[in-house]
Amino acid sequence: MTEITNFRGESSPQDTRDHTEASVDGLIVRVGERVREARQRRGIPRRVLSEMSGVSPRYLAQLEAGEGNISIGLLQRVAVALDHRIEWLVGEDDPWTSDAVRVADLFRVANADVQQAALRILSPEPAEALRAKRVCLVGLRGAGKSTLGARLGDEMDVPFVELNAEIEEQSGMPVSEVMALYGQEGYRKLEAQAVSRVIATHETMILAVAGGIVAEPETYNTLLGHFHTIWLRASPAEHMERVRAQGDERPMAGNPEAMEQLKSILTSREALYGKALAQFDTSGLSEDEAFARLKDLVVDRGFLSA
Residues in the chain: 306
Q: Report the distance separating Cα 182 and Cα 168, nearest Å.
A: 13
Tell me: the pLDDT tens digits for 135-173? Answer: 999 998 888 899 999 999 999 999 999 999 999 998 899
Tell me: the pLDDT tens digits for 96-111? Answer: 888 888 888 888 888 8
Tell me: the pLDDT tens digits for 208-220? Answer: 999 989 988 889 9
Q: Report the distance separating Cα 166 and Cα 171, nearest Å.
A: 9
The Cα angle at residue 221 between residues 217 and 223, in degrees rounded to 5: 120
Q: Report the distance separating Cα 113 and Cα 133, nearest Å.
A: 29
pLDDT of the residue at 240: 78
Q: Give yes or no for residue 275 having a pLDDT over 70.
A: yes
pLDDT of the residue at 136: 97
pTM greater than 0.85 (yes/no): no
Strands (E), the chain: 133-138, 160-162, 204-208, 228-233, 278-281
Tell me: the pLDDT tens digits for 40-84? Answer: 887 888 888 999 888 899 889 988 888 877 787 778 888 888 888
Q: Report the distance separating Cα 287 and Cα 151, nearest Å.
A: 10
Q: Report the distance separating Cα 222 and Cα 48, nearest Å.
A: 44
What percent of the chain clears pLDDT 70, i.e. is strictly above it?
Answer: 87
pLDDT of the residue at 3: 42
- Average pLDDT for 177-194: 88
Q: Give yes or no for residue 12 having a pLDDT over 70.
A: no
pLDDT of the residue at 6: 44
Q: What is the mean pLDDT of the chain?
A: 83
Handedness of CA 25, 26, 31, 36 (dihedral sign): positive
